[in-house]
Amino acid sequence: MNTKRIENQINDLYKELEDVTSMSGEEVCRKYNADGRGEIVAGIQAEIESLENELHGDDECDDDGMDYINLQISQGLPVTHW
């Protein structure tokens, strides 16, 4: 999933969370067919957390597994070391 789509989904979930917290408990139960507001709030927050981890999880990996030295050698390029 691309970054923009994930950011849009996160924004939509935050809006939904805001709507849920402003509704009465009865309205939430009717709209979401749930036993209580806490159940819905917890579900939305879990989705937000999951998407944020997906969005920022790509930044945490420093090693992509590529052997860049041998790649440079195989292409006849000078080997650079950082």
Q: How confident is the model over 11-64, as pLDDT tens digits?
A: 999 999 999 999 999 999 999 998 888 999 999 999 999 999 888 875 555 566
Do 44 and 13 form a contact (C-beta atoms < 8 A)?
yes
Domain hosting residue 51, numbered range: 3-74
Q: Tell me if 48 is assigned to some domain.
A: yes
Four-CA torsion 69, 72, 74, 77, nearest 10 degrees: -140
Q: Tell me if 51 is assigned to some domain.
A: yes
Q: Tell me if 24 is assigned to some domain.
A: yes
Q: Tell me if 30 is assigned to some domain.
A: yes
78: Cβ–Cβ under 8 A, 6 or more apart, which residues?
Answer: 72
Residue with tokens 């989705």: 47
Q: What are phi and psi of 16, to 5 degrees?
A: -65, -40
Report field, pTM of the whole predicted structure over 0.85: no
How many domains are there within the chain? 1
Q: Tell me if 14 is assigned to some domain.
A: yes
Q: Tell me if 79 is assigned to some domain.
A: no
67 vs 45: CA distance, rounded Å: 39
